């Protein structure tokens, strides 16, 4: 037996040292639970952002040089424990380049390519690109595109980011030395030691958790055998990335953490040989990316090319690159060990590689070896007081590799950085048309106790590769799967069963020589491959108005790339500042029995707890203030929805507030049935009594009854989370005059001002200042949703008389705040034999949740503008219903209502075409509006361009030729299908009575400052207003700065939204400039010589000319009613679908949008791309799933909620801004931010065409195919209705 030894004192890590951008830090009393991100931001190093705290968004990425390594790696600082950076050099975005020191080439290219919008995600992307570019390894454009799989950007649509990043690939001219920050390299003639900042020694409060970091296996053994410290509850940690999935907030912390990331023996990566056998020995602390490198190394490549390459391809689908850089394979295996519901790809792949895991048992002091899965495998072992040391992966001989069919599969919600719905691995040798006796068929996420398909393996073992063998094995697999659905967010048993059989079929097809396969099933042997992204952008400018219409980068883009662009989340807390967090209910339609705060109140940092019961009596408990006095900010008796705030915790720090909130226990009683889906509310007749009149055009009843043809149907659309990268935040501070100064990430300061006034018993507006510099994305989610956050902060400041900040985390934002409204439609449509519309009868239902505050359904203009889309119909009836349910009050989300209503209209065309067996493009073309026709909103169309644009796009995009190619492809491929759909758009824009105040001041040095009532949220409003001011004053843009928005300088400004704020604000700025120019002209005409701008300003000041102008310019009065102008657009989308897995890619998008003459084409194209990809997320990826019993949102983080990433965008993407006259618009411009969302439904229809082709081919098409949005693989497979036993066949002829 190994003799127990006391742990050496030098293994107890109390002090660490590292550098951040060449500044040295030494820290004592390191808190093992502190992340690198938290420490950076707490110490005012806020260039590194924070968002999800799950490693799922990439906003927190930094670059790290580890000891002895000259190549940096990108890591998620939110997951990385602070103590693991001991001895490392951390590089952040402001360490790469700054405004003061100059910007790095990476930062410059991102700016020049228009690759920033709100800028919150940008520093993390900079650091990922930096880590790749300055590494010593060559890389291709595809390598770089793959490298960025760990980032989410809601704004840009990724295309510009990828273009900028790929420009650094091999073959492009770059100077690596210019890109490198000092790491042990010279810069500007000095070595790194010459300009390191003096070491700072910092102390942290003592922690109850102790941590050890052994550097040898013997030291680790000593720790494990010290019974005074080591127990079965001690925690081994390598990178701790699992906390991104399995949260410990509010849970007891381990007493002992052992960091094994630097144990020498655990880092081994070498090929070993014994007799004629060779294997790879891989230490337990080797990261997943390092494992991939080992598998693809020269040593292992000599004997194999098939098995390891395919294994690596699968392993590269695990998480995102910053996670794979540090997450160890052994850690992933142990997550699966502790959480059997975890669908580990690593476990499945390692089992198929025949890996053997070496485990040290501290009780017996012996090494034990296990397989990963199967009988007596690691998953069945007792791992108490044991640790994984390494694994051995056998290297197949060249002969074995060539004879082995090795396939792995992963079906997941999106193309990358996602867990598996289901995964599988298959391995078998085939000799002489016969399977070897050793067969591996393993699946993940079927059920907890199932991995190897033992009966199926037996059916294949030593059998001939025949159709009969396949059928026998398929039946055996069907019998032994018996899948189970874990919870409401898990996929169905039917999907698991069908997918597992489909994956087995794909594997078996790969076992058959291609010459023996039916040619139409051959493509099923191949994965759905995506080519390198590409595209074009076309636009025209107007030199006469320069710099207006010039494609200049966003003025703040450079400081966004360095992380210096200010966000409220970056503001350091003041000395006496408190923080707050909501206690959220975890069920809806239930009564509160008791709120127990006793344990929470005893926690460090606790200040107070506010509930509905102890809410200050002199204040109104109103969630949205004056906008909805009924909904409480903190509910006290009845909980309407899961996620509703029950209490407000106030604590000394943000971390403490969140932790304490998680520890407040609430008991409930009288649980009622929860209504979640719109159809549930319809069935329960849960409607708000709005008494909305029908919208009627023509004579719909008569026209419908006389129509030669008619069809009926239903459409159900779900919700969508805004996914702004900067989560909700507000900071409130009381003033000496009894008012508030509130800084908030909001789209409407006026609403917050009015809500605070209402809640605080009529506090006058002049006592409430609200200010905002910029916000990190919004999309409608920071309009009314920002009000309860600001009210909570103000409440905290009022109760404590201290500044109070509320920075809501992602789960709070998703669970407690409103999202896009779900819609449902019941429709009947009448049409003639050519497919022309004669009558439409719609009943539209909007699920507004527990309140109708942002219902959309009661907005007549919304329906009259968008329910017709681009299609003329002389007779319509639209009924509208606002449905109540037990979800948070719905709110506006980019293109609110217009996205759904225009999609309904487009679906009518698809249904008609399906009924008449016509091409849907022809049907749409026949129904397009024409000049002189009456639109649904009452306008006589005089600017109708849609026919011309539609036909032009068909020609430019070669649609007819591609349709023929698609038809041929589909005829020759049974299990891969392609489809193409075209969607036109009419998007009326209204300014209505929306007004924004603009203040322009000219200083005596000639510089100009602008403050306006719009909110910069990434849409480029600040840049556009600078262009307009520069043009109007005839000065360079460098003279002009835009300062924060505040209710003092921009009083009474309305909500920023509807894509029109930029042009309305610019109109007011234009008027301010006219006022200033007129004043200055009086002085200018008196001059005897030409004055420079600076001289003119000085002369005007000396002449007492007022150099400040303010304007709140009302929109012009039009005879066209509420409509201001129309935006026209057409989009053609081509997709490809894997029929066996339900996965799909968007192969090509050709998009044309009428933009008038763009104020800034780079910004507007970026807006179009971001909008379109956000809509692709709505149609194809993003799904909000609730518990059917409690109503709790289950997709409340990046683990389950999947916005599009870099490889979910169109592979080929062509965008054109079509020029047109718009005399109403500012300098002939038009809005761009929301209209593209209305054309992304083309991808939905294109996938429908793929599904229809497969259904028709298998004689299962029965009428118009009803699809459930979003078209995740789960919903695609449901619509395809595959019958594996009946449908699957292998051979075209005998194999003999």
Contact between 661 and 582 under an 8 Å Cβ cutoff? The reply is yes
Rounded distance between C-alpha atoms, residue 816 and residue 821, angstroms: 14
Q: What is the DSSP string of 743-764?
A: EE--S-HHHHHHHHHHHTTS--
For residue range 289-339, list pLDDT tens digits in order: 999 999 998 666 655 568 999 999 999 999 999 999 999 999 999 999 999
Backbone angles phi, psi at 368, to 5 degrees: -125, 150
Beta-bridged to residue 581, according to DSSP, are 649
Rounded distance between C-alpha atoms, residue 134 and residue 67, angstroms: 17
For residue range 764-823, list pLDDT tens digits in order: 999 999 999 999 999 999 999 999 999 999 999 999 999 999 999 999 999 999 999 999
Instruction: Find where tokens 């107890």 sit.
Output: 12
Average pLDDT over residues 24-47: 92
For residue range 735-748, list pLDDT tens digits in order: 999 999 999 999 99
pLDDT, residue 187, reads: 31
For residue range 53-108, list pLDDT tens digits in order: 999 999 999 999 999 888 999 999 999 999 999 999 999 999 999 999 999 999 99
Average pLDDT over residues 907-913: 98
Q: Is the pLDDT of residue 197 over 70?
A: no
CB atoms under 10 Å from CB of 919, counted, come to 14
Q: Is the peptide bond before 456 cis (omega within 30 degrees of 0)?
A: no
Rounded distance between C-alpha atoms, residue 999 and residue 1042, angstroms: 10
pLDDT, residue 5, reads: 41
Rounded distance between C-alpha atoms, residue 452 and residue 443, angstroms: 7
pLDDT, residue 752, reads: 98
Longest CA pairwise span in the chain (Å): 103
State both tokens at 930: 């024409």
Q: Is the pLDDT of residue 502 over 90?
A: yes
Q: Is the pLDDT of residue 1062 over 90?
A: yes
Backbone angles phi, psi at 252, to 5 degrees: -60, 140
pLDDT, residue 343, reads: 96
For residue range 462-473, list pLDDT tens digits in order: 999 999 999 999
3-class DSSP state of 1207: coil
CB atoms under 10 Å from CB of 527, counted, come to 15
Average pLDDT over residues 1187-1216: 97
Average pLDDT over residues 123-140: 95
Residue 1128's H or E segment, with its range, is strand 1125-1138
State both tokens at 887: 């979800």
pLDDT, residue 33, reads: 85
Residue 864's H or E segment, with its range, is helix 860-866
For the chain, give the percent of residues with pLDDT over 90: 87
Task: Identify the CA nearest to 357 among candidates 344, 347, 365.
Answer: 347
Contact between 101 and 57 under an 8 Å Cβ cutoff? The reply is no
């Amino acid at each position: 037996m190994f003799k127990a030894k006391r742990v050496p004192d030098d293994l107890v890590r109390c002090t660490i040292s590292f550098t951040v951008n060449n500044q040295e830090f030494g820290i004592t009393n390191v808190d093992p639970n502190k992340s690198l991100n938290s420490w950076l931001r707490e110490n005012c190093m806020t260039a590194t952002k924070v968002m999800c705290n799950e490693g799922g968004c990439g906003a927190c990425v930094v670059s790290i040089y580890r000891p002895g390594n000259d190549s940096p790696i990108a890591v998620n600082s939110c997951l990385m424990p602070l103590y693991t950076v001991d001895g490392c050099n951390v590089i952040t975005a402001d360490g790469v380049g700054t405004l003061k020191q100059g910007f790095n080439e990476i930062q410059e290219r991102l700016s020049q390519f228009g690759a920033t919008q709100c800028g919150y995600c940008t520093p993390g992307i900079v650091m990922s690109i930096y880590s790749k570019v300055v590494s010593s390894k060559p890389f291709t454009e595809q390598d770089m595109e793959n490298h960025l799989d760990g980032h989410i950007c809601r704004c840009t649509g990724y295309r510009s980011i990828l273009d900028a990043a790929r420009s650094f690939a091999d073959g492009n001219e770059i100077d690596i030395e210019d890109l490198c920050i000092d790491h042990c390299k010279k810069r500007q003639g000095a070595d790194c030691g010459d300009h390191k900042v003096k070491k700072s020694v910092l102390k942290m409060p003592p922690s109850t958790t102790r941590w050890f970091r052994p550097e040898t296996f013997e030291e680790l053994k000593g720790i494990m055998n010290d019974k005074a410290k080591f127990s079965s509850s001690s925690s081994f940690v390598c990178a701790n990335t699992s906390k991104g999935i399995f949260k410990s907030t509010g849970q007891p912390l381990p007493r002992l953490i052992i960091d094994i990331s630097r144990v020498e023996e655990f880092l081994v990566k070498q090929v070993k040989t014994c007799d004629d056998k060779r294997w790879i020995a891989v230490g337990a602390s080797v990261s997943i990316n390092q494992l991939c490198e080992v598998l693809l190394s020269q040593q292992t490549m000599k004997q194999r090319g098939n098995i390891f390459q395919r294994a690596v391809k699968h392993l590269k689908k695990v998480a995102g690159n910053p996670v794979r850089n540090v997450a160890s394979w052994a850690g992933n295996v142990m997550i699966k060990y502790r959480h059997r519901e975890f669908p580990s790809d690593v476990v499945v792949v390692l089992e198929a590689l025949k890996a053997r895991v070496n485990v040290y048992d501290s009780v017996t002091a012996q090494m034990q070896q296990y397989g990963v899965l199967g009988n007596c495998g690691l998953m069945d072992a007792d791992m108490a007081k044991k640790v994984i040391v390494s694994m051995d992966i056998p290297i197949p001989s060249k002969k074995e590799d060539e004879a082995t069919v090795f396939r792995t599969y992963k079906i997941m919600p999106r193309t990358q950085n996602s867990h598996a719905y289901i995964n599988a691995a298959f391995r078998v040798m085939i000799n002489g048309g016969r399977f070897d006796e050793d067969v591996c068929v393993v699946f993940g996420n079927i059920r907890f106790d199932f991995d190897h398909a033992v009966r199926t393996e037996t059916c294949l073992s030593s059998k001939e590769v025949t159709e009969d063998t396949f059928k026998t094995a398929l039946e055996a697999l069907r019998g032994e799967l018996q899948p189970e659905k874990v919870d409401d967010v898990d996929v169905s048993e039917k999907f698991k069963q069908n997918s597992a059989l489909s994956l087995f079929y794909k594997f078996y097809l790969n076992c058959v020589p291609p010459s023996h396969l039916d040619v139409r099933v051959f493509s099923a042997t191949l994965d759905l491959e995506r080519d390198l992204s590409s595209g074009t952008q076309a636009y025209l400018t107007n030199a006469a108005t320069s710099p207006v219409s010039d494609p200049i980068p966003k003025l703040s883009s450079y400081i966004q790339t360095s992380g210096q662009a200010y966000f409220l989340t970056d503001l350091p807390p003041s000395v006496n500042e408190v923080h707050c967090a909501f206690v959220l209910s975890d069920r809806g339609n239930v009564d509160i029995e008791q709120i127990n705060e006793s344990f929470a109140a005893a926690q460090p940092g606790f200040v107070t707890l506010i509930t509905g019961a102890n809410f200050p009596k002199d204040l109104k408990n109103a969630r949205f203030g004056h906008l909805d006095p009924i909904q409480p900010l903190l509910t006290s008796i009845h909980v309407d929805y899961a996620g509703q705030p029950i209490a407000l915790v106030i604590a000394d720090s943000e971390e403490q507030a969140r932790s304490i909130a998680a520890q407040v226990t609430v008991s409930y009683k009288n649980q009622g049935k929860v209504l979640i889906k719109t159809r549930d509310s319809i069935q329960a007749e849960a409607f708000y009594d709005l008494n909305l009149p029908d919208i009627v055009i023509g004579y719909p009843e008569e026209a419908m009854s006389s129509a030669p043809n008619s069809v009926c149907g239903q459409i159900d659309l779900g919700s969508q989370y805004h996914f702004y990268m900067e989560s909700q935040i507000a900071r409130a501070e009381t003033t000496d005059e009894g008012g508030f100064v509130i800084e908030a990430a909001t789209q409407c300061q006026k609403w917050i001002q009015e809500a605070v006034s209402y809640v605080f018993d009529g506090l006058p507006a002049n006592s409430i200042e609200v200010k905002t510099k910029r916000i990190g994305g919004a999309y409608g989610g920071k309009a009314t949703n920002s009000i309860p956050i600001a009210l909570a902060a103000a409440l905290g400041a009022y109760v404590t008389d201290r500044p109070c900040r509320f920075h809501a985390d992602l789960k709070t934002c998703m669970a407690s705040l409103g999202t896009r409204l779900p819609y449902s439609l019941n429709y009947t449509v009448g049409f003639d034999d050519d497919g022309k519309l004669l009558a439409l009868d719609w009943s539209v239902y909007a699920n507004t949740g527990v309140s109708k505050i942002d219902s959309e359904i009661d907005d007549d203009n919304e329906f009259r503008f968008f329910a017709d889309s681009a299609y003329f119909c002389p007779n319509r009836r639209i009924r509208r219903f606002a449905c109540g349910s037990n979800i948070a009050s719905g709110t506006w989300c980019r293109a609110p209502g217009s996205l759904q209503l225009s999609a309904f209209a487009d679906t009518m065309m698809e249904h008609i075409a399906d009924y008449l067996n016509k091409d849907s493009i022809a049907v749409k073309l026949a129904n397009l509006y024409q000049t002189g026709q009456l639109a649904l909103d009452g306008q006589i169309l005089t600017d109708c361009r849609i026919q011309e644009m539609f036909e032009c796009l068909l020609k430019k995009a070669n649609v007819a030729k591609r349709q023929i190619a698609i038809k041929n492809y589909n005829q020759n491929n049974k299990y891969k299908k392609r489809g193409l759909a075209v969607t036109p758009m009419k998007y009326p824009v209204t300014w209505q009575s929306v007004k924004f105040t603009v203040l322009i001041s000219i200083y005596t040095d000639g510089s100009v400052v602008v403050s306006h009532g719009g909110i910069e949220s990434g849409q480029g409003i600040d840049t556009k207003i600078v262009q307009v001011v520069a043009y109007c004053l005839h000065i360079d843009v460098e003279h002009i700065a835009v300062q924060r928005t505040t209710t003092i300088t921009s009083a009474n400004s309305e909500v920023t939204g509807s894509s029109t704020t930029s042009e309305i604000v610019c109109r007011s700025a234009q008027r301010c400039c006219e006022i200033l120019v007129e004043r200055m002209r009086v002085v200018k005409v008196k001059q005897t010589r030409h004055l420079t701008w600076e001289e003119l300003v000085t002369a005007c000041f000396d002449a007492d000319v007022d150099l400040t102008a303010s304007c709140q310019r009302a929109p012009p009065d039009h005879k066209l009613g509420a409509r201001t102008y129309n935006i026209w657009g057409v989009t053609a989308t081509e997709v490809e679908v894997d029929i066996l897995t339900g996965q799909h890619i968007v192969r090509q998008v050709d998009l044309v949008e009428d933009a008038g003459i763009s104020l800034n084409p780079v910004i507007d194209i970026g807006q179009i791309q971001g909008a379109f990809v956000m809509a692709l997320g709505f149609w194809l990826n993003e799904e909000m799933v609730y518990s059917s019993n409690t109503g709790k949102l289950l997709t409340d983080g990046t683990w389950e909620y999947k916005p599009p990433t870099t490889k979910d965008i169109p592979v080929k993407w062509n965008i054109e801004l079509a020029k047109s006259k718009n005399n109403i618009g500012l300098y002939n411009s038009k809005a761009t931010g929301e209209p593209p969302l209305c054309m992304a439904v083309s991808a939905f229809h294109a996938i429908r065409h793929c599904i229809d082709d497969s259904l028709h081919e298998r004689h299962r098409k029965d009428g118009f195919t009803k699809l459930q949005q979003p078209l995740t693989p789960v919903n695609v497979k449901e619509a395809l209705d595959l019958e594996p036993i009946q449908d699957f066949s292998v051979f075209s002829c005998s194999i003999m």
